[in-house]
Every structure is written in C-alpha cells, then in structure tokens.
Structure 1
Amino acid sequence: MYDLRGHGRTGRPATGYRIEDFVADLDGLLDALGEVRPAHVVGNSFGGAIAYGLAAARPDRVRSVVAIESEPPVKSWAEKMAEGLTGEEGGLVVKEVRTWLAEDPERNARPFQLAGEILDTTTLSEDIPHSRVLDDGLADIRGPVFAVFGAASKLAGQSDHLAATLAHCRTVVLPDQGHSVLVERPRETAELLLEWLEDDIHDGIHTPVKGAR
C-alpha cells in the first residue's frame, strides 16, 4: 500500500490531481519497484477508481482489479465527484462528514482534518471532476474485476451493472454494511480477497461469476 499524492508522506504539489495523474503515479511506482509482472491491483474507495484507470490505460500491467466500495471513473463518477467536492462550504461530502462527526464526539476527526487541509491547499477539488474519464461501456477494462460493496452504500446499485457490462466480473454485496467495508469488515474482506487470488492461482484465469452475492 502506498500514500497517494497529497496524502501521508507523499509530496503535496499544489496542482495535478486528475485521475490520470494518480494513474501515472501508480504506473511509475511499479516501474520504480522493477515490477514487470501483471499485478492484482486492490483499490478502496477512490483507490478503486485509480485501479480501474490503470487497468484501462495499461492493461499489460494489471492481472485483475479488486475494487472495494469503488466505481470506475466514468462521466457519472466525475459529476458525482464535482457535486461532492465543490460548491457551497466544500460540497456534499464535506457536509456529510461534518454531520457524521457531530453525531458522535468520540469519533476520530484527525483523518478528516487532514483531508480538509488537502482540499484547502491544492486544486484537488477542481481537478478531479475534470479528469479524463472512461467510456460508459467500460470497453477499455478487459481484465478480471472483483467488486465488493456494502448493501447500505450508495455505490451498491452499480453491482448488477458491472456484472452485466464487464466480461470477467464478480461482485459481492455485504448485507447490513455501509461504505466503510474495509474498516468495519476487514476479516471478511480479506477472506474474499484471498479466495479471489486463490482462484487465480489454481485456475490460471478467473472464471467469470456474474452478479455473485
């Protein structure tokens, strides 16, 4: 796992936050690591959009995409990102986070404070909605995809669409779960991921399981 640009110990340039910039970072990281084998790329939330982007831009580098509570960076994704990150008081995402923190004073606000600093000091909120997006038909994503969603999440509705659109796709929807799948269901998520990887090792290729729940 690595820190995205602007996050953690990675540098925080003032500009350069379109999805293609994040994809180029990951592509460059694989080069720097000397990794020549196709990789299983696991992305959580925004990281999943980057994983989809790399699979489209560099299919030779991606053996499969594992997307946890994520969606491909298509036009509708860019529109939602614009609504969430820009506008009055920072957009819908900022408002929802403030409400969520206010509901329980014991919740850790530090990660969200750091995110706020990134929004305040960079062009991230303006850049992401203007990213180069994929075609809605997802024709550029040709490799296997494993997508995990929480049933109570706003993103879960795309499960059937992904399974029907992508040639090699398995989707799992976890009941009674919101967006924070990786935080709140880590063991179950790990088991699903290991099962996916074991299928690849034993079969040599993923058998498509469309719409699996």
Structure 2
Amino acid sequence: MYQEQKPSRTEFVPVRHLSYHVRQWGQPDAAQPPLVLVHGWMDVSASWQFVVDASRNDRWIIAPDWRGFGHTRAPGPAPDNYWFPDYLADLDLLLDHYVGERAIDLVGHSMGGHISMLYSGVRPERIRRLVNLEGFGMAETQPSQAPRRLAQWIDQLKSLHRGEMALKAYDTVDGVAQRLMKTNPRLQQDKADWLARHWAAPNAQGQWEILGDPGHKIINAQLFKLDETLEVYRCIRAPVLSVTAAEDSLGGWWKGSYTLAQFQERLKAVPNARSTEVLDAGHMMHHDQPREVARLIEDFLDTRN
C-alpha cells in the first residue's frame, strides 16, 4: 500500500451547525501565505495526499471535507439536497477560523475548482493566488429549461426518499479500491488501496460505504446562469492558473453540450489568467501525475508576477 511521506493531522471545526472535518499538513508560518486545498464532487480531503507528498516545500496546508463528504456531516438525518452557495459560505467561515484576515493561496479541483473561482471573485481580497484544476463549472442553461428542471428536482427528491438513490456499498475495502481504479484506469493499485480507506468506511453490517451523502446526486433546482458567473470571474484580482488534463474529460462528460473551447472562452473574463496542460492524465490529475501537479502549483505560487 502507498506510504505517506508527510502524514496529516485532522480536527473538527464548528461551521454553520456542522462539524467540519479539516485535514492539515505543516505548521502556521508568518513568512508564507496559508495554502488551502479543496476537493471535488464525491471526493475527500485525503485525496490531496499524493500531491502534498510530492511537494518540495513544507507549507502550512489546510484541506477540508466539503459538507456531506468525508467526515463532514450534519447531525441527525442528512440533507436531501445541497445548494452551491453554501460551499462559499462554509469556506469563508473556515478561513475566518484558521487564518483571520490573511490572504491565502487557493487550489481547487473539479467542483472545488469552480467553487474556488467563484469565491475568488466574491472575496477577492482574501486570495493571493488561485490554481484551478479542471474546475469547469456547468453547461450554460436557458430560462426555457426552468419548468422541466424544477420538476426533475422534485422527482429526484421523491426517488431519494424512497431509497432509490443510495450509494452502492461494497463487501470489502478491496471492492472500493477496484471501483476507484475502474473509474480512473490510470490510478495505481497502491494509491487505490490507500484512497479506499479514506473514501469509504465500514458500516454496522461490515460493508464499506462511500463517504458521500446521496443528496449530492440530486440535480440543482437552480439553473446555471453563465452571465452571473462571468460577472463573478471579472471580480477576481488574484493571478489564476487554469490546469487541464491532456485527456478531454470535459468533452467526455458533457458529450458536446459544453466544450473545452467554451471553458477557455469563459476564462477570458478573468483579468489575469493563464492556462497549462498536464500530459498523460485524466480528470483526477492529482492522482495520475502528482509530481507534475505539485510542480505546477509550487512554481506558480512562487512566481513574483
């Protein structure tokens, strides 16, 4: 199994009636901005371990499990759906707790990358530099889609409450590792075995359950409004590095309804953005090429202009 080079420590922080699970590496340092790493959909903070181990520097790193993922759960029954603005508020309160008024370096992957972009426009004074790893956001929607979208949201809520959207449980942790490798064929066995023990946990029946609420599978009742998103992007003051994988995961997921070229067009709204690519990598680039991702992050964060 994969051996951690830089073990993390974890704690729980009260945030908006939640007990937020937060992972840290390194120690607070007055000479360097704190580095905050935020994970994507159906992922966990431990997912950053390989990049942390590959990093040359020993920085103070803060990585939360988003609400409803990992070990960040609401007391009592889990919510039956999640609202995107909550992630922005959660991050803001976590930064209040850990760093006060200090500006941070922020790195986000996938859903976490999109959250990071929005947060950097909403709170531009809090971000020194931003790295977006495949945080594409969503396909543009039109007002005509609203009636069907709301009906679909209601139907999925009913399905969830009938128990029809539960996440699959696995008989063994090896089954979880195999699932991870099926989803990402580039993931090596030793990393899959290590991740499986952080991505899932045994339940009372001895099966391994994914650490993610089924409510995350519910479609957002609100349409994705591109014009509003671009206005937020225009407010970003920090330099931004957008990193995509050589394998076009965006095209594979959206089947032509949202393309990499369209995302690159959106990036033009960011005042100071540059782009680069990681070869021999898919969407989970921080698992596929952790050394290259760590190098790109560190070189960009260390750049003076």
> Relative to 1, partners in 2 of residues 1:128 and 1:57: Cα closer, same or farther, differing over 3 Å?
farther
Structure 2 gap segments, 5+ residues each: 1-62, 166-178, 201-208, 252-259
Structure 1 gap segments, 5+ residues each: 91-96, 207-213
> 2:120 is matched with which residue: 41, 45, 55?
55
Q: How many residues align?
A: 184
Cα distance, 1:118 vs structure 2: 1.0
Residue equivalent to 2:97: 32
Q: What amino acid is the match of 2:281?
A: Q
Q: What amino acid is the match of 1:70?
A: G
Secondary structure at the aligned position of 1:194 is classed as: helix
Residue equivalent to 1:151: 246
Q: Distance in 1 between matches of 2:104 and 2:83?
A: 23
Q: What amino acid is the match of 1:161?
A: E
2:235–2:270 contact (8 Å) kept in structure 1 = no
Residue equivalent to 1:209: none
Superposed counterparts of 1:170-189, under 5 Å: 170-189=274-293
1:53–1:72 contact (8 Å) kept in structure 2 = no
Q: Distance in 1 between matches of 2:221 and 2:298?
A: 33
Q: Distance in 1 between matches of 2:291 and 2:223?
A: 34
The list of structure 1 runs, each at least 4 consecutive aligned residues, that deviate by more than 6 angstroms after superposition, is 85-90, 106-109
**Alignment TM-score, normalising by the size of structure 1:** 0.69
- Give the CA RMSD over aligned residues: 3.7
Q: Distance in 2 between matches of 1:23 and 1:145?
A: 18
Secondary structure at the aligned position of 2:234 is classed as: coil
> Relative to 1, partners in 2 of residues 1:173 and 1:19: Cα closer, same or farther, differing over 3 Å?
same
Superposed counterparts of 1:90-129, under 5 Å: 100=182, 110=196, 111=199, 113-114=209-210, 118-119=213-214, 122=215, 124-126=216-218, 128=220
2:83–2:220 contact (8 Å) kept in structure 1 = yes
Secondary structure at the aligned position of 1:130 is classed as: coil
Q: Distance in 1 between matches of 2:220 and 2:86?
A: 10
> 1:5 is matched with which residue: 67, 72, 81?
67
Q: Distance in 2 between matches of 1:36 and 1:132?
A: 31
Q: What amino acid is the match of 2:122?
A: A
Secondary structure at the aligned position of 2:287 is classed as: helix
Larger radius of gyration: 2
2:118–2:229 contact (8 Å) kept in structure 1 = no
Q: What amino acid is the match of 1:139?
A: R
2:234–2:271 contact (8 Å) kept in structure 1 = no
Residue equivalent to 2:87: 22
Q: Percent identity?
A: 25
Structure with the larger strand share? 2
Structure with the larger helix share? 1
**Alignment TM-score, normalising by the size of structure 2:** 0.50
2:230–2:269 contact (8 Å) kept in structure 1 = no
Cα distance, 1:132 vs structure 2: 7.1
Secondary structure at the aligned position of 2:243 is classed as: strand
Q: Deviations over 1:96-137 (max 9, x none)?
A: x89945x89x8669538515x511xx3x33364527754346
